[in-house]
Amino acid sequence: MYVALFPGQGSQASGMGKFLFSEFQKAREVFEEASEAISFDLKKLCFDSSDSDLQLTENTQPALLVTSIATYRVVHHEYGLTPLAAAGHSIGEYAALVASGVISLSHGTQAVRRRGQAMQAAVPVGQGGMMATLGLDENQARWLCDWAKKESGFGPLSPANFNCPGQIVISGNTKTLDWLRLNLKPEEIPGAPRRVKLIPLSVSAPFHCEMMAPAEAVMREVLTGIPFAKGLFPIVQNFQADFEEDPQKLRENLIRQVSAPVLWTQSLETIKKKGLFQFIEFGHGQVLKGLLKKIDSENFQVWTTSSLDEVRALESHLKASGH
């Protein structure tokens, strides 16, 4: 009764996945296959790169994919665990599709490498950015973006990531974001939120907004050329926050995801309505675990897998629960 979760950008760190490579043959096979697919040494990237190199989105995306899939395949192989469904945050959705068997690891690695390059190239450096808003609900975040565009006279700005209640990331024109930071008037926001905080994010491009349209066009071409199969389990996708199994719809939603917001809170509410409350976060870090605590700390249980101790703890839990 587990749902597999796969993290997105912001989870990466130098050394990620190294313990898997050292301990498990299945992980070594994943790193070799993914590296061969893009003629690039992902072991060196994940294990030895500086954090600044890993933050380059064309590096971040394949690094996250290979680490997540290495983790998933180790757990699947060692403990025979197959989830009932999966979801991935932004780039993590590619790992969900590879885990389910919708797309191959080789095709997935090639696609995310191209995705990172296309997203970086879509907007000249410095012209777009992202900002976390704290304390707003969905309607207030949308109002804030519309208000900033109207009052500043600058370009696009829209919600990009609905991460959890009270944490919504907005994305768009740097000028609009800078104007908003200087001119925010919390008392004017409908519903008068008790507190509002804006935190500029250290990202290289304005992801998940209309400024990513050129990257979406590139990914339409890339993903149209990749076979999508019926997976082993459904994926709750970012674009529409619902379970999907049809290969053609999975492809289309993945294409649209590039310039559309990540409906993460909505996706978890969809999963919850199905009576699913236990999750395993496959990959580095505990970012998704933190978000799920804020979405429903009472009912959601999340196991993480970013160290050997965490994997062994998961093993103990699975054995104790009779898996």
pLDDT digits (tens, 9 = 90+) for 151-199: 999 989 999 999 999 999 999 999 999 999 999 988 889 997 888 999 9
CATH assignment of the domain containing 182: 3.30.70.250
Percent of the residues in the chain that have a pLDDT greater than 70, as a whole number: 99
> What is the pLDDT, as a whole number, of residue 161?
98
Residues 281 and 302 in one domain: yes
The per-residue pLDDT for 57 is 85
Higher pLDDT, 125 or 271: 271
Q: How high is the pLDDT of residue 86? A: 98
**Eight-class DSSP state of 15:** T
pLDDT value of position 45? 96
118 and 158 both lie in a single domain: no
14 and 112 part of one domain:
yes
Active site residue 76: no
Count of structural domains within the chain: 2
Q: Is the pLDDT of residue 279 over 90?
A: yes
For residues 190 and 143, is the Cβ–Cβ distance under 8 A?
yes
Judge if 165 and 216 occupy the same domain: no
Q: From the centroid of its chain, how far is CA 6?
A: 7
Tell me: do 12 and 117 sit in the same domain: yes
Calculate mean pLDDT across residues 293-300.
96
pLDDT, tens digit (0-9, with 9 covering 90-100), for 5-34: 999 998 999 999 999 999 999 999 999 999
Whether residue 46 is found in the same domain as residue 137: no
Write down the pLDDT at residue 12: 92
Portion of the chain with pLDDT greater than 90, in percent: 89
pLDDT digits (tens, 9 = 90+) for 114-131: 999 999 999 998 899 999
Comparing 322 with 232, the larger pLDDT belongs to 232
Last residue of a domain, one of 158, 183, 203: 203
What does the pLDDT look like over 59-80, one tens digit per residue? Answer: 999 999 999 999 999 999 999 9
Q: Catalytic annotation on 39?
A: no
Per annotation, catalytic residue among 49, 107, 204, 208: 208
Q: Are residues 164 and 70 in the same domain?
A: no
Q: How many CA atoms lie within 13 A of 42 on its CB side?
A: 34
Out of 176, 203, 230, pick the residue that ends a domain: 203
Decide which of 250 and 322 is more confident: 250
* The token pair that represents 222 in the structure block: 């890339």
Q: Residue 197: give the domain boundaries.
A: 128-203
User: What is this structure's pTM?
Assistant: 0.95
Helix (H) or strand (E) holding 35, with range, is helix 25-38
Check residue 193 and give its pLDDT.
85
Average pLDDT over residues 216-230: 98
Q: CA 135 to CA 153: how far, in whole Å?
A: 25
pLDDT at residue 210 tops 90 = yes
Identify the active-site residue in 11, 35, 49, 90. 90
Q: 237 and 111 share a domain?
A: yes
Domain boundary among 203, 237, 263: 203
Residue 323 pLDDT > 70, yes or no? no
Residues 155 and 231 in one domain: no
Here the tokens at position 278 are 């236990």
What CATH code is carried by the domain that includes residue 21? Answer: 3.40.366.10
Whether 109 and 12 share a structural domain: yes
For the segment 234-245, the average pLDDT, to the nearest whole number, is 98
CA atoms within 13 Å, Cβ hemisphere of 267:
31
Is there a single domain that holds both residue 80 and residue 149?
A: no
Average pLDDT of the residues of the chain: 95
My answer on whether 175 and 38 are in the same domain is no
